DNA sequence: GCTCGCGATGTGTACGTTCACATCCGCACG
DNA sequence: CGTGCGGATGTGAACGTACACATCGCGAGC
């Protein structure tokens, strides 16, 4: 009835309403309010309605900290990522965020600036200090596994894009397969001298793409040559191209990602070479821009968003004790555009 | 002395050590431990050392939830962002994350999938339920301000990239100035018929760039034409190009971002037009790839990372009650490459 | 030698919630 | 008509920490 009159005088500092304030307004005990909040059974609909009305009236919001304290559940998923500004990680993280929020979890993201072990470890340490309930790693560096062991991470975790290693904790695009598709495509076009510009050696996915490339080449009995170790950037592709094209002892290039492919095409243009007339190029990722490169890039599409969603499903499933969740690799897809052609 | 013998029997479920466990091991009171944790003065160095040793021994980590509960400070900054997978937001967020972590804050990020008012509001609502202490908005939609008002957001907030509006809460790259630089550059090259492909109308920065474009054109007494309203994507730039180039009643294009510029160049190529021979093009953002487009793109550089860092500085400053913080717009920079040339 | 003051440390309590358990009521069953 | 049972609701405690205040000891000043 009287919702204001008989309350104690307003304190100076306005305090956010708590569960007891709601209870008082609704004329029930705080426990009943708690029950409504956690929609537990055995509440009379009429009572629940009154509580909900009180909640609205007061603009009450449950205090997450108090809840976390008593349940000792932070409802937080930690994300350890390398450069979150890159297309792949950024896309995955966005999907992770949405899937997590859907499931009532929030994210704690941390960027590791370098691939130094100490950097990984301190990033991981930070996440542990946030009491994350699960961990998703998008920093596909080999040393992450070490760090996870060293810190005795006891929560469910999954690493993205880390082909082949430690499969029970991995979820990945089948990079080996993707690389084979790209390489096979070039071979089928008649190319026999194929160059690979790889990502940094300590990225597992770079390693996997290199393996796929080498295996496909081996299966076709073609000469393999040492891949160039790049850094994923367009600039690297460009300078590598300027260097490599001085010899021109190859007619096709498989680049570890679209950006390096772009840089390489830039170098071709500058050296007066036609793509795909003189050199065929394949990238990986299918970033949205690659369809508009000059020429539009043949590339291996990866579904980063799907990977992110599945990662969340996986760790939350494990958290709920569900077993036997699917770790099947996500299949990449070859997108043929105009940067590849039959060997002249 | 005895650090193990006289403790109560181990409970079944291993409980994380708390401040009292540390105190017991260190032989001090829990309050002393608390003091060491919050490095308050008046602790004997020797005591502090003993406490620290106990912390290490037990692998103790402060419980953030308990801390948040009692201090009623969440140490969280909310980030409301549009597509976090885009280069600009992603770069800013990365910088925000690092700056925030540096300052002992974590982030709660939420993506809004559409620019619908309800979507913005629910995103904001989510962040408020996280009890964020401050808010950084990277979703530069006009309606965000409405939502912030409607929800009576009482925390310090700052919107990024929202030129000109509500300046006390904005931090921005001077988009108007950037657009003017781009336009002026084209005018100085002799172009008089310049087309603008803008971002979506409800993005404040798109609006600002359009204003800058129109003003510069006005100052030069050149004919203005209705800008095309795009969606930031390369594909839009491409299709818009195919359409517009059927008439060819312009010799230069100012695109709202690099991706649309890329798409437009693609269309030029397909229509048999040379860039910059027939058409000059300027973009905005200077994403890392744009230096390797065909041709390398003249563009207006924005320092997204700097913006992110300053946003954190601003809201945390306000939180500490510091006044008179700099809201000076960040100056963009024209990067002249090869997509622009004197009018034929 | 006594007191004052201050540095160093300890004790009580509150934060807001959930869990375990207690209580109350009405209805079905014998 | 008494008993038991289960649905609906209430009470007490605990989670781990920081703040306010209390206490202790020791050296300076008279």
What's the average pLDDT block by block, 10 residues per block, for chain A (344 residues)?
37 74 92 91 89 93 94 93 87 94 92 83 91 87 79 85 61 86 97 95 86 95 93 96 95 97 98 96 96 97 92 90 74 96 91
Q: What is the pLDDT of residue A11?
A: 40
**CATH of range B73-173+305-319; options 3.40.630.190, 3.40.50.300, 3.30.420.40, 3.40.50.2300:** 3.40.50.2300
Q: What is the pLDDT of residue B6?
A: 36
pLDDT at residue B103 above 60?
yes
Residue from the list B84, B259, B289 with its beta carbon closest to the beta carbon of A259:
B289
Residue A128 · residue A148 · CB < 8 Å: no
Distance CA(B240)–CA(B99), nearest Å, equals 39
CA distance B128 to chain A (A): 9
Residue from the list A87, A97, A265 with its beta carbon closest to the beta carbon of B111:
A97
Distance CA(A210)–CA(A224), nearest Å, equals 11
Name the CATH superfamily, with its identifier, for domain A175-302: Response regulator (3.40.50.2300)
Instruction: Tell me whether the omega of the peptide bond preceding residue B307 falls within 30 degrees of 0, making it cis.
Output: no
Instruction: Kindly give, in sequence order, each residue whose CB lies less than 8 Å from that of residue B43, ignoring residues fewer than 6 positions away.
Output: B32, B35, B36
Mean pLDDT of chain B: 88
| Cβ count near A200 (within 10 Å) | 16
pLDDT at residue B196 above 50?
yes
Helix residue ranges per DSSP H, chain A: 19-26, 30-37, 45-58, 64-71, 87-102, 117-129, 143-150, 175-188, 204-219, 234-244, 258-270, 304-319
For chain C, which bases have at least one atom within 7 A of a protein Cβ? 7-12, 14-20
Per domain, the residue ranges of chain A are 1-62, 74-173+305-319, 175-302
Nearest CA in chain B to A264: B292
**CATH of range B19-62; options 1.10.260.40, 1.10.357.10, 3.40.190.80, 1.10.10.10:** 1.10.260.40
Average pLDDT value for residue range B140-169: 75
Q: What is the pLDDT of residue B117?
A: 85
Pairwise CB contact (< 8 Å): A288 & B106: no
Q: What is the pLDDT of residue B39?
A: 85
Residue A87 · residue A290 · CB < 8 Å: no
> B307: part of which helix (H) or strand (E)?
helix B304-319
Q: Is the CB of B64 under 7 A from strand D?
A: no
* Strand nucleotide closest to residue A46 (CA to C1'): D8
For testing contact with chain B, the best of A89, A281, A292, A309 (most B CBs within 10 A): A292
A40-CA/D5-C1' distance, Å = 21
Distance CA(A90)–CA(B293), nearest Å, equals 22
Q: Exposure of B201 by Cβ count < 10 A (0-12 exposed, 13-18 middle, 19+ buried)?
A: middle
Distance CA(B305)–CA(B313), nearest Å, equals 13
Summary count for chain B: helices (H), strands (E): 12, 11
Specify the CATH number of the domain A74-173+305-319.
3.40.50.2300
Strands lying side by side in the sheet with A170-171: A106-111, A76-81, A134-137, A157-160, A170-171
pLDDT at residue B235 above 60?
yes
Q: Is the CB of B62 under 7 A from strand D?
A: yes
Residue from the list B64, B85, B87 with its beta carbon closest to the beta carbon of A130:
B64
Residue B314 · residue B158 · CB < 8 Å: yes
Measured over the CA atoms of residue B29, residue B30, residue B34 and residue B37, the dihedral's sign is: positive
B27-CA/D27-C1' distance, Å = 26
A32-CA/C23-C1' distance, Å = 14
Which residues is A134 bridged to in the sheet? A77
| Cβ count near B239 (within 10 Å) | 16
Average pLDDT value for residue range B281-299: 97
Instruction: Kindly give, in sequence order, each residue whose CB lies less than 8 Å from that of residue A264, ignoring residues fewer than 6 positions away.
Output: A197, A237, A238, A240, A241, A253, A255, A281
> B193: part of which helix (H) or strand (E)?
none
Which letter does DSSP use for residue B166 in this model?
S
Any idea which residue has 């017991």 for tokens? B24
Say which residue, A323 or B109, is predicted with more confidence.
B109
Residue B47 · residue B29 · CB < 8 Å: no
Residue A297 · residue A259 · CB < 8 Å: no
CA distance A19 to chain B (A): 14
Which letter does DSSP use for residue B114 in this model?
S
pLDDT at residue B233 above 60?
yes
| Cβ count near B39 (within 10 Å) | 8
Instruction: Kindly give, in sequence order, each residue whose CB lies less than 8 Å from that of residue A64, ignoring residues fewer than 6 positions away.
Output: A75, B65, B74, B129, B130, B131
Tell which phi-psi region holds residue A257, choosing left (phi > 0), alpha (psi between -120 and 50) or beta.
beta
Which letter does DSSP use for residue B85 in this model?
T
Identical fold between A74-173+305-319 and A175-302: yes
* Strand nucleotide closest to residue A22 (CA to C1'): C16
Which CATH fold topology does A1-62 show?
434 Repressor (Amino-terminal Domain) (1.10.260)
Any idea which residue has 């070479």 for tokens? A273
Residue B219 · residue B183 · CB < 8 Å: no
């Amino acid at each position: 009835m009287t919702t204001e009159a008989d309350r104690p005088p307003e304190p100076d500092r306005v305090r956010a309403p708590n569960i007891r304030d709601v209870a008082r307004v609704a004329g029930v005990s705080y426990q009943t309010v708690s029950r409504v909040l956690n929609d537990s059974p055995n509440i009379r609909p009429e009572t629940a309605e009154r509580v909900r009305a009180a909640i609205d009236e007061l603009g009450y919001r449950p205090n997450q900290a108090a809840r976390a304290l008593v349940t000792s559940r932070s409802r937080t998923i930690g994300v350890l990522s390398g450069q979150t500004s890159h297309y792949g990680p950024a896309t995955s993280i966005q999907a992770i965020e949405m899937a997590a929020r859907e499931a009532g979890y929030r994210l704690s993201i941390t960027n590791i600036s370098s691939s130094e072990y100490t950097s990984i470890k301190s990033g991981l340490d930070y996440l542990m200090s946030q009491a994350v309930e699960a961990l998703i790693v998008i920093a596909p560096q080999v040393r992450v596994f070490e760090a996870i062991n060293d810190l005795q991470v006891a929560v469910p975790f999954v690493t993205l894009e880390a082909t082949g290693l430690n499969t029970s904790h991995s979820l990945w695009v089948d990079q080996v397969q993707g690389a084979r598709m790209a390489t096979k495509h070039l071979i089928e076009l008649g190319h026999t001298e194929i160059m690979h510009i790889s990502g940094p050696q300590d990225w597992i996915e770079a390693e996997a793409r290199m393996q796929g490339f080498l295996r496909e080449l081996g299966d076709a009995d073609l000469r393999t040559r040492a891949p160039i170790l790049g850094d994923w950037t367009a600039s690297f592709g460009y300078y590598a191209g300027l260097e490599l094209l001085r010899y021109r002892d190859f007619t096709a290039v498989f680049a570890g990602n679209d950006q390096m492919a772009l840089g390489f095409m830039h170098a071709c243009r500058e050296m007066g070479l036609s793509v795909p007339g003189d050199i065929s190029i394949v990238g990986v990722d299918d970033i949205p821009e690659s369809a508009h490169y000059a020429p539009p890039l043949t590339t291996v599409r990866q579904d980063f968003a799907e990977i992110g969603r599945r990662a969340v499903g996986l760790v939350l499933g494990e958290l709920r004790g569900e077993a036997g969740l699917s770790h099947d690799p996500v299949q990449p897809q070859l997108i043929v555009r105009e940067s590849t052609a039959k060997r002249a």
